[in-house]
Structure 1
Amino acid sequence: MNILFIEDDAIETMKLHRTVSKLQLRVNIVEAKNGEEALEYLKSGGESPDIILLDLNMPRMSGIEFLKILKEDDKMKYLPTIVLTTSENRADLLECYKIGIAGYVIKPLKYEDYESKLKKVLDYWNINELVKA
């Protein structure tokens, strides 16, 4: 499974890699530090990700701004995008679902809880037929 991970925090990026390694998941992770970098990657003609894991609070372009651009594009709008954020703001959650996300996961403080949530998300998308299409 190919994942586009959009996150500006180096610690969160290391946490994702640590979790994937510990769980021995067979995934390829492409990193982008913000929405602009992610859009450049998506438009570059490289291999499309099976899923996008997106933080909301980033410099230059917020996750919500990225989502709006992504979902307006005829080709990219079908990419399953899961928000992975610390934001428990209900307005953010509702806005993201209104735009068209596939899921909204709040990053827990404890690493064990993060690992558990991430495993469930990746297990689900690994068997989902949309990823295989």
Structure 2
Amino acid sequence: MTRKDDVIDSPLSIILVEDDDGDAKAVTRAFARLDGQCSILRVRDGIEALALLRGESGRAPRNYVLIADLNLPRMGGIELLRKIRDDPDLHRAVAFVMSTSADDRDVTAAYAYQVAGYILKQKAGRDFGSLVTTINHFWRLVELPDMGGGAGD
């Protein structure tokens, strides 16, 4: 059996659902420090995320980690998580929430949809460095389910 950290061609794939250009740019810059070991696809809301995940507007990577903001235009993060968990082709998606909200109702709602973690933007570290470290360790240590089988597979 080949371990993930032994596979050179297994870059980290992130689908970032973030409407704030400044936050998206900062997250992208932070992950760029992984020297080509990361690819980021950014969408601006839950509707765009679902279209990507379902193969309606491009093709999502076969395996990925989804990082979604909660407060998004058109379709917010909680509604996106609900639709993902209700979709038989997407329900295995590994998702994190990244938000400025520390409201216990938001945290509880996100975990009700089996998020892997709820990350406060203000705790994500200077220039999102702690976020990158956490997600990179997660990607390398945790065995993820095969998320193929969605649209187009």
Q: Do both share a fold (TM > 0.5)? A: yes
* RMSD over aligned Cα atoms: 2.1
User: Matches of residues 44-63 of structure 1 in structure 2 within 5 Å?
Assistant: 44=55, 46=59, 47-63=61-77
Amino acid at match of 2:40: I
User: Matches of residues 15-30 of structure 1 in structure 2 within 5 Å?
Assistant: 15-24=26-35, 26-30=37-41
Residue matched to 1:78: 92
- SS of equivalent residue, structure 2 residue 15: strand
Q: Percent identity?
A: 28
Residue matched to 2:106: 92
Residue matched to 1:11: 22
Say which one has the larger Rg.
Answer: 2
**Contact in 2 for aligned 1:2/1:50 (Cα 8 Å):** yes
Q: Which has the higher helix share?
A: 1
Stretches of structure 1 that go unaligned for 5 or more consecutive residues are: none
Deviations 1:38-96 (A, max 9, x none): 00001117233421000001110110011110100112111100001111010000011
Amino acid at match of 2:44: K
Amino acid at match of 1:31: R
User: Matches of residues 93-132 of structure 1 in structure 2 within 5 Å?
Assistant: 93-108=107-122, 112=126, 114-130=128-144
* Number of aligned positions between the proteins: 133
Work out whether 1:43 is the aligned partner of 2:54: yes
**Contact in 2 for aligned 1:93/1:104 (Cα 8 Å):** yes
Structure 1 residues 19 and 43: CA distance shift in structure 2, 3 A: same
Structure 1 residues 66 and 108: CA distance shift in structure 2, 3 A: same
TM-score when scaled to structure 2? Answer: 0.78
Amino acid at match of 2:51: E
